Amino acid sequence: MGQITTLAWSRVTSLAISIVTHAPDLALLAQVLEHLGRALRHACQQGDVTEASVVVVDNGPGTGWREPLRQVLDVAALPAATELLSGHGNVGYGAGHNLALRVSDGEVHLILNPDVLLEEEALGAGLAFLAAHPEAGLVTPAAWGGDSQRQYLCKRFPTVLDLALRGFAPAGLRRRCQARLDRYELRDQTGDGVFWDPPIASGCFMLCRRAALDRVDGFRPEYFLYFEDFDLSLRLGKVTRLAYVPQVRIVHRGGHAARKGLRHIGLFLRAAILFFNRYGWRWW
């Protein structure tokens, strides 16, 4: 699995999309699906997609989200076959997407957060890039937050200090270390041009060739939440090439684990330990 390969490709393709939810903001999810519908229609009109499917994975909590999620999907009226997977409990983010991979078979698979709004041309631009570059197996986008501030989704391999500064340091200390954080976030590389082979891409939007995902067996389920995208990126980088493509544009309204309470901080630290134990500890 250590050799990078070029994967066969054609212009017109089938697309599968998976969204994993856990106690989602239903109004925001409806907006996400509305933007997704526009992007799908545009890609179909441009001839980039022949057929599409969307799988929403309901990770709970409990069974009470099944009907509300079904209603949101029905109202969205996506130009795609839709399926809701529910009743399996909270298996975690990566394992939830793995469930969707088992029931979908698109040539390209989009891993999408329930808090990401696609621009209308995002899917078409990503698929056109994959068609033009058979060596690419994952496309990561340019992103902005809900506050219109730029987000930098590509990363270098992290050190413990990088993660501590970015997630937990007071604002004054972060400002003094801004040059270091900018380097970690590849800010000088991910601007207006395509950037090849970022070590790590965010799991909020991963446009992947299905063949590449299959070669690495999808997400590792032991990452319940956080770092599953770091791990997947590193494994994909061994069999294909990752590319930041700024023509693919999204708005991402999530992130900031440290602001979500003690439980999320604990999940983050547990996943970080798993990650560094596997790939090696780098402290600073």
Q: Which DSSP string do the residues of 172-189 spell out, in sequence order?
A: HHHHHTHHHHHHHTTTTT
Q: For 173, phi and psi rounded to 5 degrees?
A: -70, -40
CATH number of the domain bearing residue 151: 3.90.550.10
**Residue 238 within a domain:** yes
Question: How high is the pLDDT of residue 165?
Answer: 94
Q: For residue range 28-86, list pLDDT tens digits in order.
A: 999 999 999 999 999 999 999 999 999 999 999 999 999 999 999 999 999 999 999 99
Q: Would you call 123 helix, strand, or coil by DSSP?
A: helix
Maximum C-alpha span of the chain: 51
Q: For residue range 151-179, list pLDDT tens digits in order.
A: 999 999 999 999 999 988 999 999 999 99
**CA dihedral sign of residues 104, 106, 108, 112:** negative
Confidence of residue 146 (pLDDT cuts 50, 70, 90): confident
For residue 125, the enclosing domain spans 13-158+192-256
**Residue 115 within a domain:** yes
**Residue 227 within a domain:** yes
Confidence of residue 6 (pLDDT cuts 50, 70, 90): low
**Residue 68 within a domain:** yes
Question: Pick the residue with more confidence: 114 or 7?
Answer: 114
Verify cis geometry, omega within 30 degrees of 0, for the bond prior to 158. no
Question: How high is the pLDDT of residue 136?
Answer: 97
pLDDT at residue 201 is higher than 50: yes
pLDDT at residue 254 is higher than 90: no
d(Cα 203, Cα 186) in Å, to the nearest integer? 16
pLDDT at residue 2 is higher than 70: no
Q: Tell me the two tokens of residue 5.
A: 């390969």
Q: For residue range 263-274, list pLDDT tens digits in order.
A: 989 999 999 999
**Residue 270 within a domain:** no
What is the tally of structural domains in the chain? 1
Do the strands 241-252 and 136-145 form a parallel or antiparallel pair, or are they unpaired?
Answer: parallel
**Residue 177 within a domain:** no
